Amino acid sequence: MSLTLNDIKKNYKDYIVYGVTTIKKKYGFRIKLIFDDDTKKIIQKSGYEKKSIANKYRDETIANLKNHTFVIYEKISFVDYIKMWFDEIMTPILKYNSYMSYRNIIFNYAIPFFDNLYLTQINIGHIKKFYNFVLKKSLSVCKLAKTVMNTAFDFAKLKNLISINPTSNIDLSKKIIKEEYGIIKIDPNKTLSLEQTKTLINASKNTPIYLQILFALLMGLRKQEINGLKYSDIDYVNRKLYIQRQLGVDPKKKKEECEKKTYTKQEIELKTLNSKRELDIPDMLFEAILEERAKYEANRRRRINDKHTPFTDLDYICCSTYGRPRSKGFHWKYYNKLIEENNLPKIRFHDLRHTYTTLLLNNNYNLKAISEILGHASTIVTVSNYYDKNKIVIDCSEEMNQYVDKVKPKENEINNDITLEINTNLIAKKFAL
């Protein structure tokens, strides 16, 4: 049966359990439930070989009804339930990043795995096999899957859709060797060395994602934070940048409520409260922003009266020539081409943020300062995600000489390469390094 939120909202206020009788040459009994809204539902329990067995289950049913642990809907598929739970219960309260994480677990893992099962059929064995299935992807995804399943089945138990929560008392640590607290290995193949960083910056200069590359490599910003930046977020006198929003999907809005091509580009809250932060802008990036601002103004003047494709003055730094914000996947075509043509490691765009962090850590930068720059809630988050000083490949650390706040480009007359010069005075004063 299909499940709606209204179904599980209803509570029964009274019930009648009829006596055991013959049903289709076997024994059984019927239950009448009377709900708060005075609607009624008849449930039949049948198929028992002996009358004594039917009476035993009738007595258990009466006890469950008295204790409000009786399962009303036994034929609800897991798929119907999890979709209803996600859409009606979780979506209204989840922020963008959590929404996308939950959605990934549900639609890419849980639904394919439990596709043919009723909710009431799922037991602890199924759940353990599911966790092992997800673990093949990664430990972090498995931990998130555990959170999602615990929450979903807790709600199902609360609403008497199941009698026992099969996710209870399953400890991943019994099956998985946990890594030392606060330490993980950083794969050198998923970060760039200083020389590779300079190569990528230099190669991206004449591409539409040049500023996105700089914001990621020189300030450690997340992709959706970059897409949400506006010129009004900049203090041009003190060269400060205020991270105040990101672009993405607002789980509380339906696609049909949004203007065309804006559903995935909505202004939404940042990942956490700590993600809202104030950062110093490196010289190299500040100069690039000024150049981009000049282009923005030129496009605005040129297209402001265009009847077919007028300029949309939304103030975004990373935008099209029509002023529209970039989509989440806009960078892929250009980024992948840069990686391939310059023989760089095939890492994700988000790994540029990891590169920035790793380079800071290799130069003994204060963990609290790095946490605040990255917008992490605590120092532990940074340590857990990035840092094992003994395992990070140290490359060009002497030449880098404290890679952090101010980055100034210099043009080499022979090969037009970019050299990074670092000045740490502002960060040192701010965090008392």
Task: Please state, in angstroms and rounded to a whole number, the distance separating the CA atoms of residues 298 and 320.
Answer: 12
In the block, which residue shows the tokens 């509380």? 252
Task: Please state, in angstroms and rounded to a whole number, the distance separating the CA atoms of residues 264 and 278.
Answer: 25
Number of Cβ within 10 Å of residue 244's Cβ equals 18
What single DSSP character describes residue 31? E
Task: Tell which residue, 404, 348, 337, has the closest CA to residue 191.
Answer: 348
Using only the alpha carbons of the chain, give its radius of gyration: 29
Q: Which residue spans of the chain are classified as CATH 1.10.443.10?
A: 188-431
pLDDT of residue 337: 96
Which class is 188-431 in CATH?
mainly alpha
pLDDT of residue 333: 94
Q: Which residue spans of the chain are classified as CATH 1.10.150.130?
A: 78-174
Number of Cβ within 10 Å of residue 36's Cβ equals 11
H or E segment to which residue 26 belongs: strand 26-35
In the block, which residue shows the tokens 């914001």? 215
Give the pLDDT means over successive 10-residue stretches in the chain (433 positions).
Answer: 65 90 92 88 90 92 84 86 92 87 95 93 92 86 92 90 87 53 56 89 94 94 95 93 92 84 89 87 92 94 84 94 92 95 94 87 74 76 63 47 43 39 36 33
Residues 214 and 288 sit within 8 Å (Cβ to Cβ): yes
pLDDT of residue 423: 37
pLDDT of residue 392: 57
pTM: 0.64
Choose the CATH number for 78-174 among 3.30.70.2080, 3.40.50.300, 3.30.420.40, 1.10.150.130: 1.10.150.130
pLDDT digits (tens, 9 = 90+) for 27-79: 999 999 898 888 888 989 999 999 999 999 899 989 888 887 788 877 889 99
Residues 368 and 268 sit within 8 Å (Cβ to Cβ): no
% of the chain with per-residue pLDDT over 90 = 47
Task: Tell which residue, 136, 122, 138, has the closest CA to residue 71.
Answer: 122
